[in-house]
Structure 1
Amino acid sequence: MAFLAAALDRVKPSATIAVSQKARDLKAQGRDVISLGAGEPDFDTPDNIKAAAIDAINRGETKYTPVAGIPQLREAISKKFKRENGLDYTPAQTIVGTGGKQILFNAFMATLNPGDEVIVPAPYWVSYPEMVALCGGTTVYVEATLENDFKLTPEALEKAITPKTKWFLFNSPSNPSGAAYSHAELKALTDVLMRHPHVWVLTDDMYEHLVYGDFTFATPAQVEPALYERTLTMNGVSKAYAMTGWRIGYAGGPLNLIKAMDMIQGQQTSGACSIAQWAALEALNGPQDFIPQSRVAFEKRRDLVVSMLNQANGLKCPTPQGAFYVYPSVQALIGTKTEAGKTIETDADFVTELLDAEGVAVVHGSAFGLGPNFRLSYAESDEKLEDACGRIQRFCASLRR
């Protein structure tokens, strides 16, 4: 359609949203469907946060806010970065957006010119390359394979950097793999970046608080302070506080970049929802006991899912260190046939046939840039996860050569 912008030819719809919508459609038709495609905690937002939002409404905090966020929230973000990450960002060096997506999008819009390259480890969150494309940049994919626990090696990063590289986009713990980088693994990557002063770092720390066992989270500018002046540290309240629908993301970074993002946002959406900002303020400043409680629940679910999937015929499921996803390989099942005689040629075939046969919705790994795998979100009840994994075991057992 000639009327539409040519930029739309460079992007495709979100696979995760598409899977979730297909599951909703099947449920509406009366199908028994367990949807494990969305990255959304099943817990409710903590009561103290909801109460803060209600109090804000009752106080009349319902007007436009400053574009970059209410001063109280920007102050809380500054303190959060210092308290939890050892990063000194003044409130003026912070910005609040409508979810982490807007933070990332505005950063790219403020910095990318045609021909600029953004290095993205694969597997990656489905929206990263689409944002880069919409903002006129070029994504350079670097595989982080199962053999390396889905983590990028310093050698692969070094090889991917060119004179056109503008950003290295880094996500730990990872969506979709759950891979998390230790301090030492991060230091090996930042050592590479120190040799290339033209490369900036955009770090997506959205799953910071969802790490398991004795793993300790770290972020690039914390590991290598010399990267501070060329790092944008992004985070948000969506995952840690079960606030996905509140749509609040935030970032800290160099003042000139924050000002540029502020200007773009001022002509785009202006400030994020006032009520959601007051709720986010309570999330950051209020009691933090929800986080360890949810972490314990997620770790238990992870262990359940990993155990059951590794008992399924043909699946290989590594144990992730963070987030709430597993990313099992279906390599051993490629070429098998369903009971109806359909051949599983790709991971997309696998998830399609799984949904049709057993009513379990997951996302094919090729949508995240690395297959044949699938992403399963274990942000669901133990009962649903056990049921879903049992169905997956049954489906895998039904496949034949």
Structure 2
Amino acid sequence: MSFLSATLSRVKPSPTIAMTAKAAELKAAGRDVIGLSAGEPDFDTPQNIKDAAVAAIAAGKTKYTAPDGIPELKQAVCAKMKRDHGLDYTPAQISVGTGGKQTLYNALMATMNDGDEVIIPAPYWVSYPDMVLLAGGTPVVVETTLANSFKLTAEQLEAAITPRTKWFIFNSPSNPTGAGYSRDELKALTDVLMRHPHVWIMSDDMYEHLAYDGFEFCTPAEVEPGLYDRTLTCNGVSKAYAMTGWRIGYAAGPVELISAMRKIQSQSTSNPCSISQWAAVEALNGTQDFLAPNNETFKRRRDLVVRMLDEIDGITCPTPEGAFYVYPAIAGLIGKTTPAGTVIENDEAFATALLEEADVAVVFGAAFGLSPNFRVSYATSDAALTEACARIQRFCASLR
């Protein structure tokens, strides 16, 4: 009889972290590996945010805080939700966690019962299904298509809802595809949800500020105010503010749910890092001037990667609306053989061979629930992206 919990057999380690670790291992062994697997901006945290953290340390703000966030940060989140989305929240409706992942996890742990279902469009962020499983629920994965730009349709959502549906997890712009839903596309989904009052909405808005070509971000409770009382809007400072290591996420929702999430957090991690919280206050309240130039850089990198990958026979690379990922389809490469003799049976074999034979780390599509594809993160330098894409071109050209 195993000492470990049976629950662990239901989940798997994060494939994105595993691929990043494998690339780091090869790099440490002297290989010239270019990593395109980690979803982390290469920009430094803006100086005003770092200064706020230093000031917090100097002021002795190094003690425990309330389990789910200091009042100043909760107030900053309320102000952000009003400013950006016209949504009114009180501090009692705000939860601050150790990264966006914790707020999602707390919400699922606070609400899921055996037999509850959670609708998750695929491709999805790798952690969604496993968090649902850990919470005792059942992920209901609905595959989107390349032809529909990897976006869920209203008809697909309607068909997936059952009396057991507890949550619908929504992510726009998306990890891993970068696909962003327009207001009309999101309204079609919210119209479906209005017909099913037992279904709650978990909106992961982490890539909100990373949008290109005039794409206008909107969030479900903003598009359909009738969903306000059963929507948890989740966000954080990791991506747009280049604060991945600071580990601050937040969520806005009904008081009863936020209170339940606080109870779980108080008995697990307790408060997020006090210094990081004060840095996040400055991130949300301070200047946002760096967002536009950062986005211009990301857009340039996106266009570079899409162009170079789309030139490859056997690869189709759509142009995403936001985030910093592309999700090329590789149906035309399946069944081919690498110079080292590896048969590309699926996207995992492709990603493994690309790392071992061409020193480029990407994440295979099966990790995100939709194959055959792979994810590239273009949150790294133009030079690294150009070289990595050239290596992918040479690798694909060598397949027979």
TM-score range, shorter chain: over 0.9
Following superposition, which runs of at least 4 residues in structure 1 exceed 4 angstroms of deviation? none
Alignment of 1:59-208 (within 5 A): 59-208=59-208
Distance 2:96 2:104 in 1: 11
Q: After TM superposition, list the pairs within 5 Å mapping 1:325-344 onto structure 2.
A: 325-344=325-344
User: Aligned equivalents of 2:49 and 2:33: distance in 1?
Assistant: 31
Identify the residue that residue 245 of structure 1 maps to in structure 2: 245
Give the corresponding residue for 2:386.
386
- How far has the Cα of 1:85 moved from its partner? 1.1
Structure 2 letter corresponding to 1:38: A
- SS of 2:375 mapped into structure 1: strand
Q: Residues 84-111 of structure 1, C-alpha deviation per residue, up to 9 Å, x if partnerless?
A: 0111111111010000010000000000
Q: Name the SS for the 1:202 alignment partner.
A: strand
Name the SS of the counterpart of 1:65 in structure 2: coil
Q: After superposition, what is the alpha-carbon deviation per residue over 1:365-397, rounded to whole angstroms, capped at 9, x for unaligned? A: 010000100000000000000000000000000
One-letter amino acid of the structure 2 residue matched with residue 66 of structure 1: A
Deviations 1:16-37 (A, max 9, x none): 0000000000000000000000
Structure 1 residue 293: deviation in Å? 1.3
- For 1:354 and 1:2, the matched residues in 2 are separated by 37
Partners of 1:182 and 1:340 in 2: how far apart? 44
**In structure 1, what is the equivalent of residue 347 of structure 2?**
347
Separation of aligned partners in 2, 1:151 and 1:126:
17
What whole-Å deviation, never above 9, does each CA across 1:273-302 have from its counterpart, x for those lacking one? 000000000000111111111111000000
The reply on whether 1:264 has 2:264 as its aligned counterpart is: yes
Letter in 2 for 1:317: C
Tell me how far apart the structure 1 counterparts of residues 298 and 31 of structure 2 sit (CA, whole Å): 27
Rounded to whole Å, the distance in 1 between the matches of 2:37 and 2:109 is 29
Q: What TM-score do the two structures reach when normalised by structure 2?
A: 0.99
2:277 is aligned to 277
Q: Which amino acid aligns with 1:131?
A: M
Partner of 2:17: 17
Q: CA deviation at 1:159?
A: 0.3
The separation in 2 between residues aligned to 1:57 and 1:293, in whole angstroms, is 30
Distance 2:329 2:86 in 1: 37
- CA distance in 2 between counterparts of 1:141 and 1:111 reads 19
Q: Deviations over 1:182-215 (max 9, x none)?
A: 0000000000001100000000000000000111
Distance in 2, matches of 1:75 and 1:273, equals 17
CA apart distance, 1:320: 0.3
SS in 1 for 2:43: coil
- 2:2 partner SS: coil
Q: Give the corresponding residue for 1:373.
A: 373
Task: Give 1:342 deviation, angstroms.
Answer: 1.8
Show the counterpart of 1:294. 294
**Which residue of the partner structure matches residue 303 of structure 1?**
303
Give the deviation of 1:313 after TM superposition.
2.3
Q: 1:220: which partner in 2?
A: 220
| Bigger mean CA deviation after superposition, 83-92 or 37-46 | 83-92
| Amino acid in the other structure paired with 1:65 | T
Determine whether 1:5 maps to 2:9. no
Q: Offset of 1:314 from its aligned partner? A: 1.2
For 2:87 and 2:175, locate their aligned partners in 1 and report how far apart those are by CA, in whole Å: 24
In structure 1, the gaps of 5 or more residues are: none
The TM-score, its normalising length taken from structure 1, stands at 0.99
Deviation for aligned residue 1:230: 0.2
Aligned residues: 400
Query: C-alpha separation between the residues in 2 aligned to 1:341 and 1:77?
Result: 54
Amino acid aligned to 2:149: D
2-structure distance, mates of 1:218, 1:320: 16
TM superposition shift of 1:336: 0.6
Is the partner of 1:118 in helix, strand or coil?
Answer: strand
Provide the secondary structure at the position in 2 that maps to 1:217: coil
